[in-house]
């Protein structure tokens, strides 16, 4: 179910610049990346009761990396998507003290998109060995047929 | 070697010790319990299960590489796993064999295009038998082991032939 | 007073005639001895990635004080194969093949999540028969997956017999799955628009034969492991997770329901035919490993109940909607989720209007279950740690993607 856009706007009004809209995904809030932690804390503490961070993912839009936080309220059965953008070699500030479920997904997102993780208890790489390129960026190509055939 | 014929007046047989060792090695290939991905469920778990019973071929898993004869590489090997595969192979005592199970271990499989994936485990360790499939059926894995047994037999016969020719 | 063990060591060195007594040769580090003469030092032990009980290539680095864990760190990535990146280079109906290899024990659920996401973008309606077949196959896959969990959980606790019984019953289920989809593991059965084929003629017969005996077998399994006092003593009261921790770590599925939170995607965000099926959602109370065991055993029974309803109530009709051969969903972003045996399995799909997705993200329930291990392992004994990895039921394929 979709949360009430007005309530979301009022919750975030004192905290950050928020653009709230509805798309195929649901209700999407766009905020500046620096305010992610405080915005999520405000949403968690509000009457909307977003108790769980279901998912955290990054998307390479071609110009920057867009981080999506997928929040859910179990009591009201509502989902909210909070998005912010970071430059390519930017710094991802951890939200683990708001939602502990961000711990491993943040490490993974930072590693696969080439971001630096800040404020995290263990900002090391999760999935790949050192010196691996940021594999989920669109600029990193997959192997070609020739490369595979001549293995 | 039909053991039931070794009765009564035929109860003494003469074999070369090497033949005996190779027969023992072929028929008790203990594999390292080392399942990387999906192939481990089919080829290690189901193949050792009650229906496809690997144990009737003498094949059984061992947890430690020091006690294993065969390493079945069941799953995709990527750059992070490659070190571990090589380390485990080095820890296995001779004689040892490697079975590349499934498309991923043979040549990279459905994930061959991803830069993090190693295109087949034969880039890291020498492979004796390749079993195609994604995942191969447990019977395919058992057929692969039968092929490995034939290979070991051939290798021992080739060794004896080479020694005869040298004299 | 010198420690007799020190003297023995010194004697051994003297006997070799290579070293002076009392002077440790370079390279031998004397273990620091504490006040009571016992060697006291935290030992950092590596478990995995090759280990009989790590459910795949999981690596745990634990700091031990004797047998008690002080600190645990999870190291994954040994199976990172690029499911998400390769999803950007596959057509929409091929995403199911990638999902099959993610959570490889419950392929149908992965395929279903990807198909649901694509269908949301396409806004296509799936025929009723396909919905019921999807539920039927999902529940068959759920029992098969829980049998793997049951077998390996017992192995982690040291029991071996139940593993073979679990595999025996799983083989019967895989026969049915193979009869319907053609494959024992990578089914490639659920596609956007419906399912790829109807039930073959002998599938119903096989299912009814299976259903005649499965209830008795499930009772046997429960008695074998759950009725065993040693197992109960090992598992009761160990690894309790409270509601707040479970929710803040993003747990879903049986790991969340064992704490008492009644969230089940099948009931709360129904998909396929679940709105028309009668089923109970088992809940635990204390959140310990015993509750997780009970919840999953009951889920198996409820799944069997749903399989019966699915065969009895299967409607007539097509199994696939009219969708084009090459799917080009309109640009948009969606999130679709299913209740996999491990929890909420979600697919976050972003389409740019072309025939391949722009971004394909796999929300893996095992990743969050893995995180909570770092939280609950400190304070446990090492043997219990191995048991707890089994009790949260992780599959490395979906953690590493």
Q: What is the ipTM of this complex?
A: 0.92
| pLDDT at res. C40 | 73
Rounded Cα distance between B160 and C1, Å, is 64
| pLDDT at res. C235 | 92
Q: Which of C283, C361, C372, C400 is the mutation pick for testing A, counting most A CBs within 10 A?
A: C361
Task: Please report where in the chains the tokens 């069941």 appear, as a residue.
Answer: B74
C263 to chain A: which residues are within 8 Å by CB?
A: 74
What are the backbone dihedrals phi and psi of residue C361, each rounded to the nearest 5 degrees, phi first? -120, 140
A52 to chain C: which residues are within 8 Å by CB?
A: 247-248, 250
In sequence order, the 6+-apart residues with CB closer than 8 A to the CB of A72 are A50, A51, A52, A53, A54, A78, A79, A80
* Residue C17: pLDDT band with limits 50, 70, 90: very low
What are the backbone dihedrals phi and psi of residue C381, each rounded to the nearest 5 degrees, phi first? -80, 155
Interface of C with A (CB under 8 A): 73-74, 76-77, 80, 82, 84-86, 89, 120-121, 245, 247-250, 261, 263, 268-269, 332-335, 344, 346, 348, 350, 358-359, 361, 363, 367-368, 370-371, 374-375, 400
pLDDT digits (tens, 9 = 90+) for A72-95: 999 888 999 999 999 998 899 999
pLDDT digits (tens, 9 = 90+) for C153-163: 999 998 889 99
Q: CATH code for B29-151?
A: 3.40.50.12280
CATH 1.10.645.10 maps onto chain C at 83-400
pLDDT digits (tens, 9 = 90+) for C285-301: 888 999 999 999 999 99
Task: Select from C136, C181, C110, C162 the least CA-distant residue to C395.
Answer: C110
Tokens of A60: 């390479």
Q: How close, in Å, is residue B125 to chain C by CA atoms?
A: 16
Give me the CATH topology for the region C83-400. Answer: Cytochrome-c3 Hydrogenase; chain B (1.10.645)
Instruction: Tally Cβ neighbours within 10 Å of residue A149.
Output: 11
Q: What domain range includes position A47?
A: 5-149
Q: How close, in Å, is residue B11 to chain C by CA atoms?
A: 38
Is there a contact between B116 and A148 if contact means CB atoms under 8 Å apart? no
Residue A96 pLDDT more than 80?
yes
Average pLDDT, chain C: 87
The CA angle B81-B83-B87, to the nearest 5 degrees, is 115
* Residue B66: pLDDT band with limits 50, 70, 90: very high
Q: Whole-structure pTM over 0.80, yes or no? A: yes
Is there a contact between B116 and A128 if contact means CB atoms under 8 Å apart? yes
Residue A40 pLDDT more than 50?
yes
CATH of the domain at A109: 3.30.460.80
| pLDDT at res. C7 | 44
Please give the average per-residue pLDDT across C366-371, as a whole number.
92
- Using CA coordinates, name the residue in chain B closest to C94: B110
Rounded Cα distance between C160 and C146, Å, is 16
| pLDDT at res. C329 | 92
Is there a contact between B135 and C186 if contact means CB atoms under 8 Å apart? yes
Distances in Å between the alpha carbon of C218 and those of B27, C38, C143, C148, C156?
36, 48, 10, 13, 20
More confident of the two residues C118 and C55: C118
Count: domains in chain A: 1
Rounded Cα distance between C174 and C217, Å, is 16
Distances in Å between the alpha carbon of A133 and those of A103, C63, C76, C200?
21, 31, 18, 48
Rounded Cα distance between C141 and C106, Å, is 6
Tell me the CA end-to-end span of chain B in Å, nearest whole number. 27
Residue B144 pLDDT more than 80?
yes
Taking the Cβ of residue C396 and every Cβ of chain B, the question of whether any pair is shorter than 8 Å is answered with yes
| pLDDT at res. C131 | 94
Task: Please report where in the chains the tokens 């939280």 appear, as a residue.
Answer: C375
B123 to chain A: which residues are within 8 Å by CB?
A: 151
A143 to chain B: which residues are within 8 Å by CB?
A: 112-115
What is the residue extent of each domain of chain B? 29-151
Is there a contact between A143 and B115 if contact means CB atoms under 8 Å apart? yes
Residue C128 pLDDT more than 90?
yes
- On whether the CB atoms of residues C322 and C281 are closer than 8 A, the answer is no
**Which of C50, C57, C171 shows the shortest C-beta gap to B49?**
C171
| pLDDT at res. C19 | 40
Is there a contact between C248 and A101 if contact means CB atoms under 8 Å apart? yes
Residue C401 pLDDT more than 90?
no
pLDDT digits (tens, 9 = 90+) for C208-267: 999 999 999 999 999 999 899 999 999 998 989 989 999 999 999 999 999 999 999 999
Residue C10 pLDDT more than 60?
no
The percentage of residues in chain C with a pLDDT greater than 70, rounded to a whole number, is 90
| pLDDT at res. B159 | 82
């Amino acid at each position: 179910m979709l949360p009430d856009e007005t309530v979301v706007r009022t919750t975030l009004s004192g905290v950050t610049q928020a653009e709230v809209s509805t798309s195929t995904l649901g209700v999407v809030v766009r905020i500046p990346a620096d305010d992610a932690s405080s915005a999520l804390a405000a949403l968690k503490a509000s009457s909307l009761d977003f108790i769980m961070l279901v998912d955290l993912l990054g998307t390479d839009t071609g110009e920057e990396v867009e981080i999506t936080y997928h929040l859910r309220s179990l009591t009201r059965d509502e989902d909210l998507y909070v998005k912010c953008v970071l430059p390519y070699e930017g710094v991802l500030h951890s939200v683990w003290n708001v939602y502990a479920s961000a711990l491993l997904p943040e490490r993974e997102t930072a590693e696969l998109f080439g971001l630096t993780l800040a404020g995290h208890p263990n900002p090391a790489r999760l999935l790949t060995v050192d010196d691996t390129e940021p594999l989920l960026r669109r600029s990193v190509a997959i192997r070609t047929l020739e490369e595979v055939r001549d293995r | 070697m039909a053991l039931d014929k070794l009765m009564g007046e035929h109860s003494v047989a003469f074999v070369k010790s090497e033949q005996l060792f190779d027969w023992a090695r072929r028929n008790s290939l203990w594999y390292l319990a080392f399942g990387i991905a999906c192939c481990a469920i089919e080829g290690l778990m189901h193949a050792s299960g009650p229906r496809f019973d690997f144990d009737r071929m003498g094949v059984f898993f061992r947890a430690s590489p020091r006690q294993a004869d065969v390493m079945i590489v069941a799953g995709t090997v990527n750059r992070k796993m490659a070190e571990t595969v090589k380390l485990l192979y080095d820890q296995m005592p001779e004689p040892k064999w490697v079975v590349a199970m499934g498309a991923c271990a043979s040549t990279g499989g459905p994930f061959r295009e991803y830069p993090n994936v190693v295109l087949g485990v034969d880039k890291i360790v020498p492979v004796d038998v390749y079993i195609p499939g994604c995942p191969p059926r447990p019977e395919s894995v058992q057929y692969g082991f039968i092929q490995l047994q034939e290979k070991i037999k051939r290798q021992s016969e080739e060794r004896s032939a080479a020694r005869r020719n040298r004299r | 007073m010198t420690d007799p063990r020190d003297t023995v060591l010194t004697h051994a060195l003297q006997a070799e005639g290579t070293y002076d007594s009392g002077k440790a040769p370079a390279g031998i580090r004397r273990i620091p001895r504490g006040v009571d003469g016992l060697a006291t030092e935290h030992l950092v032990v590596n478990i995995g990635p090759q280990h009989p009980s790590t459910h795949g290539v999981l690596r745990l680095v634990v700091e031990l004080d004797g047998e008690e864990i002080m600190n645990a760190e999870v190291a994954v990535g040994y199976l990172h194969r690029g499911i998400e990146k390769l999803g950007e280079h596959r057509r929409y109906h091929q995403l199911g093949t990638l999902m099959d290899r993610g959570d490889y024990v419950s392929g149908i659920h992965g395929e279903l999540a990807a198909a649901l996401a694509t269908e949301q973008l396409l806004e296509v309606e799936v025929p009723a028969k396909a919905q019921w077949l999807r539920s039927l196959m999902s529940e068959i896959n759920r029992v098969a997956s829980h049998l793997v969990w049951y077998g390996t959980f017992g192995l982690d606790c040291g029991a071996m017999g139940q593993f073979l019984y679990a595999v025996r019953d799983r083989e019967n289920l895989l026969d049915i799955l193979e009869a319907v989809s053609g494959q024992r593991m990578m089914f490639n059965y659920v596609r956007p628009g419906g399912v790829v084929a109807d039930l073959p003629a002998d599938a119903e017969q096989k299912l009814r034969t299976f259903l005649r005996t499965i209830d008795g077998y499930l009772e046997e399994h429960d008695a074998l492991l759950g009725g065993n006092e040693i197992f109960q003593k090992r598992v009761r009261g160990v690894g309790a997770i409270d509601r707040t921790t479970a929710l803040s770590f993003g747990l879903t599925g049986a790991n969340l329901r064992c704490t008492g939170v009644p969230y089940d995607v099948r009931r709360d965000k129904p998909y396929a035919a679940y709105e028309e099926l009668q089923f109970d959602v088992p809940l635990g109370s204390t959140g310990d490993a015993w509750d997780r065991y009970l919840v999953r055993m009951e889920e198996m029974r409820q799944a069997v109940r749903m399989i019966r309803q699915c065969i009895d109530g299967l409607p007539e009709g097509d199994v696939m909607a009219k969708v084009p051969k090459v799917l080009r969903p309109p640009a948009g972003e969606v999130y679709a989720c299913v209740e996999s045996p491990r929890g909420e399995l979600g697919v976050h799909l972003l389409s740019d209007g072309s025939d391949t997705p722009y971004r394909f993200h796999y929300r893996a329930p095992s990743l969050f279950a893995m995180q909570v291990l770092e939280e609950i392992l400190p304070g446990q004994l090492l043997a219990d740690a191995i048991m707890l990895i089994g009790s949260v039921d992780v599959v490395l394929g979906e953690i590493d993607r």
